[in-house]
Structure 1
Amino acid sequence: MQLIDIGVNLTHASLAKAPDAVLERAYQAGVCQLVLTGTSLAGSEQALALCHQLDASATRLFCTAGVHPHDSSTWTRASSAQLEALLREPLVRAVGECGLDFNRDFSPRPQQEKALEEQLALAVELQLPVFLHEREADQRLREILRDFRDQLPAAVVHCFTADKRALFGYLDMDLHIGITGWVCDERRGTHLHPLMREIPQGRLMLESDAPYLLPRTLRPKPKHGHNEPAFLTEVLNEVARHRGETPEQLAEHTTACARAFFALPVI
């Protein structure tokens, strides 16, 4: 059984201390390929460097490149050119993490929207899929996406945590959905359980978002307290349960979906 983790923050200090060991545990758990998330220009450079450093075969590790809405206040005229150069690297397979976050508002909303629009324009120009972040902004995100959607090859709303209305709005736009350990959280993720059956095959992908969102169903819990790609099997089992599928069935179609979305090789 093969799994693909479409979102891991391997540049985070908690994972970057011993990335070889993190990856070995992931491979042992059946996570055969990983997409490292870029959340800033510097972070995207680091993610790409890790791909080169840790995967000489260039078949297991790939990355995204983009500017997270939290960091969109740093977006300048030069950012677009710098990002474009990164996006032309062969191991960079998607634009992002980009989007809107109206929950924390770490950057002013007009700047979030400007950075998102310019990154979507790059995705259209280079014909790359988009790795999207959204918190409490689904309506505005869809409004902005409408101007670009017909020209984009694909887009995934990563770490989906919203409600049925938002989900159906995204599916109506033919977007992909990424599910994380949020679905394993009995305190705040139970509303996702009935929604798992509503995501069609070919639109659903799985992600750890490590080191964040340690699945609360995991036993025993790691002493270090942070999430790892090796724990993606917990997300697999929880999602499969609510979809009425076996873990093997879910692994097969979510892996095929991720391979197609990010243009990953079969290994």
Structure 2
Amino acid sequence: MQLIDIGVNLTHPSLAPEQEALIERARQAGVVQMVLTGTSLGDSEAALRLCRQYDDGQRLFCTAGVHPHEASHWDRASAASLRGLLAEPEVRAVGECGLDFNRDFSPRPQQEKAFEEQLAIAAELKRPVFIHERDAGERLLAILKDFRDHLPAAVVHCFTGERRTLYGYLDQDLHIGITGWICDERRGTHLQELVREIPRGRLMLESDAPYLLPRTLRPKPKHGRNEPAFLPEVLECVARHRGESAEDVAAHTTACAREFFGLPVLTT
């Protein structure tokens, strides 16, 4: 089986000491390609450097964007910098961008402005969008509606919402990213029912490492950090609750991710 991890925070300081080893462990676990997440312009530049440092353009790719937590730093210069990053071949999507009305680390009007302007850039350049949303589904859908016809694709990464929100995203023909949240018996059980309602061709898998270590993983790593090598645990949980084989889910989610991000097909 081949898996693609569409969301890895490889620039996170906790992963810095073992980036190369982490990539190799992922490969051994069947995670053959990864998309590194950019959450600020500086972080996006760092993700791009890691792609070039550890790969030859076949296995590591990245996104570039400004997370809603960082939206207060968005300005005209940010837009120009983002355009420059999107010209690089390793950068395959705009994001992580969106709305977070849970923590509100940036004022909501600034979150909305940064999100709208990044969507406009994505629409102009015909790039897919990698979206973050927390407690803001209704507002996000309202903003996205004005851009959706001009975007090639968009994925709500690390989906944790309820049925109504999921249906709203599917109605706008969005992709859905599922993480180890689905393995959490405390807060993820609702996803176990909802995941079967995500159509084939709209579902992708991600670790969101170093966050969201699957709670069903045995043995648990002593350091408590998640990594892409643990993505098969998410696969098994998703397959079980969709009533599909792990092989089938791996095949259709990998095909979906390759099409979404325009990734090369690997034979080995």
Aligned residue number for residue 111 of structure 2: 112
CA distance in 1, matches of 2:16, 2:115: 28
Partner of 2:167: 168
Name the residue aligned to 2:32: 32
In structure 2, what is the Cα distance between the partners aligned to 1:196 and 1:71? Answer: 30
Q: Which residue of 2 aligns with 1:45?
A: 45
Q: 1:128-175 CA distances to partner (integer Å, 9 max, x unpaired)?
A: 000000000000000000110000000000000000000000000000
Query: Structure 1, residues 82-133: CA drift from partner, whole Å, max 9, x if none?
Result: 1110011110000000000000000000000000000001101111000000
**How far apart, in 2, do the equivalents of 1:114 and 1:10 lie?**
27
Structure 2 Cα separation of the partners of residues 252 and 225 of structure 1: 29
Match in the other structure for 2:129? 130
Partner of 1:90: 89
> What is the CA-CA distance between 1:242 and the residue it aligns to?
0.3
What amino acid is aligned across from residue 224 of structure 1 in structure 2? H
Structure 2 length as normaliser, TM-score?
0.99
Q: CA deviation at 1:224?
A: 1.0
Residue number in structure 1 paired with 2:2: 2
Aligned pairs (5 A) from 1:182-193: 182-193=181-192
Give SS of 1:6's match. Answer: strand
Aligned counterparts, 1:1-267, within 5 A:
1-55=1-55, 57-267=56-266
Q: Aligned with 1:100: secondary structure? A: strand
**What amino acid maps onto 1:241 in structure 2?**
R
**How far is 1:235 from its partner?**
0.4
The separation in 2 between residues aligned to 1:120 and 1:202, in whole angstroms, is 22
Aligned structure 1 segments of 4 or more residues deviating by more than 6 angstroms: none
Deviation, structure 1 residue 17: 1.3
Structure 2 gap ranges (5+): none
CA distance in 1, matches of 2:94, 2:21: 27
Structure 1 residue 18, shift from structure 2 partner: 1.4
Distance in 2 between residues matched to 1:79 and 1:38, nearest whole Å = 13
Q: Which amino acid aligns with 1:32?
A: V
Structure-2 separation of matches of 1:94 and 1:119: 11
Give distance in 1, aligned partners of 2:104 and 2:252.
35
Q: Give the deviation of 1:178 after TM superposition.
A: 0.1
- Secondary structure of the corresponding residue to residue 161 of structure 2: coil
Structure 1: unaligned runs, 5 residues or longer: none
* RMSD over equivalenced CA pairs, Å: 0.4
Aligned equivalents of 2:155, 2:214: Cα separation in 1: 21
Secondary structure of the residue aligned to 1:18 is: helix
CA distance in 2, matches of 1:109, 1:228: 31
TM-score computed with the length of structure 1 as normaliser: 0.99
Give identity over the alignment, percent.
76
Structure 1 position 14, deviation (Å): 1.2
Q: Which amino acid aligns with 2:16?
A: A
SS in 2 for 1:17: helix
